[in-house]
Amino acid sequence: MTLTPDQIRNYHTDGFTIVEELIPPGLLKNIAEHLDRAALGQLDSGIAVQVEPEVQRLDIRPENPLNRIRKVSRVVRHDSFFRSVATCEPILSCMRDILGDNLRFFGDEAQLKPAFYGSAHAWHQDAPYFYSIPLPVATVWIAVDEATSENGCLQVVPGLHRQGILKRPNSDQPWFDEGEFDSTDAVPVVLNAGDALFFHLCLPHGSDSNTSSNRRRSLIYRYINVDRITTDMVPLVNRHGCLSNAPDSHLIFRMAIP
């Protein structure tokens, strides 16, 4: 699978492009099953699990343990199945069309967004989470379930990535406070299960809470073109001397893509 000229143009002009049916049904079923196992702690213990805020505060006490979890990360580092997905040809061929050939894996996470109370995600750009200037990084956001306005699909502001980093990064809060970002021109990214959104590291995006009766799981991978890195791209360092908000996988620049 390769991107069409229009899809490549959309990525560079709007900051994103949609690829329908990127992941075949059989593989998608396996991804869904592995995400649930990761959320339940049934895979490697190195996989990070984050609990929904309302569950953490004990405002909600779900009977199903899967409905406790907001997201998981470090899945590629700690699980061979997720590594195989990260190197599958449908994803890589599209990434090469966007970034070029010399790719490295950059990081992962999966948003599980449980039904009825899956939390919103504040408006933000991904770039300030990692470096002080934009990197040659692209993200693929795979819809494991149907993503709708009701269950909190991603929202983006087309074209705003061309302005670079809008909020100067700091070690405590790379996202926008409520009212700090004008989302008037935002559009919802409605996807069927198996569709994927490829987007730029500087594209502003966010999502509302899940008010529907359906989960909205997504698997998110990031890739970098190491041929386009310059010595000016210095990691952010927080007050503790650590790389600020580095990818949880710690595979930056290490995992070669065949």
pLDDT category of residue 149 using cuts at 50, 70 and 90: very high
- So where are the chain's domains? 5-228
- Residues 23-31 have a mean pLDDT of 98
Q: Which of 2-11, 136-145, 160-169 has the lowest mean pLDDT?
A: 160-169
Please state whether the predicted TM-score (pTM) of the whole model is above 0.85: yes
What integer pLDDT is reported at residue 185 of this predicted model?
A: 92
- Locate 78 and state its tokens: 């700690």
CATH number of 5-228: 2.60.120.620
pLDDT digits (tens, 9 = 90+) for 205-246: 999 999 999 999 999 999 988 887 654 544 443 333 333 344
Give 66-130 as a DSSP string. Answer: GGGEEEEE-HHHH-HHHHHHHT-HHHHHHHHHHH-S-EEEEEEEEE---TTTPPPEEEE-SGGGT
Greatest Cα-to-Cα distance within the chain, rounded to the nearest angstrom = 51
Average pLDDT score over the chain? 85
Placement of tokens 């893509």 in the chain: 257
Residue 172: how many CB atoms within 10 A of its CB? 9
